[in-house]
Amino acid sequence: MDTAANVMVDQPAVEPDFAGFLARISRDLPPHCILTRPDQTRAYEADGLLLYRQCPPIVVLPETEAQLVVVLKACREHNVPVVPRGSGTGLSGGATPHPNGVLVGMAKFNRILRMDPESCVAVVGPGVRNLAISEAAAPLGLYYAPDPSSQIACSIGGNVAENSGGVHCLKYGLTTHNVLRVRFVTIEGDIVELGGEAPDSPGLNLLQSFIGSEGMLGMVTEVTVKLIPRPELARVVMASFPSVELAGEGVTRIIADGIIPAGLELMDKRAVNMVEPFVKAGYDLEAEAILLCESDGTPDEVAEEITRVEALLREVGATRLQTSTSEEERLKFWAGRKNAFPAAGRISPDYYCMDGTIPRRHLGRVLAAITGMEQQFGLRCSNVFHAGDGNLHPLIMFDANLPDEVERAEAFGVAILELCVQVGGTITGEHGVGIEKIDQMCTQFSREELDAFSAFKRAFDPYGLLNPLKLIPTLVRCAEYGKMHVHGGQVAFPDIPRF
């Protein structure tokens, strides 16, 4: 049985009417936008989290907003659950298809609609690649700051769904800090706009709640993003440490000194030795941990900040310091960090990339605990993360051909997430919850909080059709997970279909 089958156990109260749905959308969408044969739909069975697979019965690839309106209205009319999909690079199973629903791919919404250098904004379709925005803005001296490691492939719509970050999120923020407006279609087929290009907009600030909602409130058709000027200069300090704990202390000292670097990333020895043969970035293979700290701004600002950072890291116990002397060298230093995931594929048949966030002061403690978990679960784990904001990305290596290793990898991941909560952190930083972490939502949040989340979703999607079985667990599920007692079997909003 597919792992996905273990989580998609609830069935719709009313069976989806696929025949009626197909008949309705076929009147307005060309045949090449509707895929029904297994050989066509198999390519959409999973996102980047390959642990969960489910071949969708139907895939629809709309080309216009009007077509998307038709599709969502048809889903509502014929009781068909709908799962949105961007580029498929997500790592929490958020785009895993529903066994009794339709998957709607937004890859054809891939046009940059407007680039406004005077207002420093760009209006783009949700299928536009993250990196493509910066490439288009480069001749104007501008760029889009959020830069997840998958930026060469991931779509801006997916970034909005997951509130993605990247190595420069410490100084420039996550997606939520860089998106000014979204235009989306509700399950009723209504078009709604949240936010705007002005510094503020009237009414409730629903934009920030929409970003990170993982396709559970509506499907995005346009995104207005903030562009910022490219800094005159950027340089990276690469510091080697004899222990992960000292590297973590280096992070703490930098932030405590009032420095907010453009990027602050940490890699442990296993990650360094995994990446260096792949990228040849010049990393210190003897170090127990490497810290990358970037400063940007005017030449004078960068020089002053680099001097302070180097002094702080020496005081903490850095054994080697190397500062980039050219843009080419700076990019090479970052290439190692950004290629940690593909590098893992060179030394392991499969890897499971986790995502949790902890208070910075617990970096050393948590990484030491993860090392102990390697012995407990009998699997290797390398660690790369956004050290500045405590966002961990452990890479658990396993072999999917061995069912026992799959189970151990999943259990390893659960243990890491539970530890993040125990030390005052959260179960995600930028990958989202999706299917992967839905049980841990029961650990992170109380019944009252989950009731509030359900109520908010209900306001946008009273039928429970948008990306069901993701992000928000039912209270019954939490009770079965053993993390919450449901008194008398009562569940808030029992009228919502539990697809």
pLDDT tens column, 126-146: 999 999 999 999 999 999 999
The beta strands (E) that lie in 48-120 are given as: 58-60, 82-85, 102-105, 112-116
Arithmetic mean of pLDDT, 411-425: 96
CATH of 112-229, one of 3.40.50.1980, 3.20.190.10, 3.40.50.620, 3.30.465.10: 3.30.465.10
User: Residue 10 — very low, low, confident or very high, per pLDDT cuts 50/70/90?
Assistant: very low
Arithmetic mean of pLDDT, 301-324: 98
CATH of 233-340, one of 1.10.760.10, 3.30.70.3450, 3.40.640.10, 3.40.50.720: 3.30.70.3450
User: Residue 477 — very low, low, confident or very high, per pLDDT cuts 50/70/90?
Assistant: confident
- Confidence at residue 359, expressed as pLDDT on a 0 to 100 scale: 93
- Confidence at residue 203, expressed as pLDDT on a 0 to 100 scale: 80
pLDDT tens column, 19-78: 999 999 999 999 999 999 999 999 999 999 988 999 999 999 999 999 999 999 999 999
User: Residue 13 — very low, low, confident or very high, per pLDDT cuts 50/70/90?
Assistant: low
pLDDT tens column, 357-368: 999 889 888 988
pLDDT: which is higher, 474 or 209? 209
The dihedral over CA atoms of 379, 383, 384, 388, expressed in degrees to the nearest 10, equals: 140
- Confidence at residue 2, expressed as pLDDT on a 0 to 100 scale: 40
Class level of CATH domain 348-436:
alpha beta
Instruction: With a cut of 60, say whether residue 310 has pLDDT above it.
Output: yes
Supply 158's token pair: 């997916």
Q: Are both 3-105 and 348-436 of the same fold?
A: no
Arithmetic mean of pLDDT, 113-130: 98
Q: Which of 364-368, 393-397, 474-478 has the lowest mean pLDDT?
A: 474-478
Instruction: With a cut of 90, say whether residue 494 has pLDDT above it.
Output: no
Domain boundaries along the sequence of the chain: 3-105, 112-229, 233-340, 348-436, 439-489
DSSP class of 381 = E
Write down the mean pLDDT value for the chain.
Answer: 92
DSSP class of 483 = S
- Residue 353 β-bridge partners: 395
Instruction: With a cut of 90, say whether residue 428 has pLDDT above it.
Output: yes
Nearest to 393 by CA among 248, 261, 244, 267: 267
User: Residue 490 — very low, low, confident or very high, per pLDDT cuts 50/70/90?
Assistant: very low
CA distances to 84, 95, 114, 290 from 106, rounded to whole Å, are 7, 12, 19, 38
**DSSP H or E run through 423:** none
- Confidence at residue 24, expressed as pLDDT on a 0 to 100 scale: 98
* Whether CATH 3.30.43.10 fits 3-105: yes
Task: Output the pTM of the full model.
Answer: 0.92
Q: What is the DSSP string of 132-201?
A: HHHHHHGGGTEE-----TTTTT-BHHHHHHHT---TTHHHH--GGGTEEEEEEE-TTS-EEEEE-SSS--
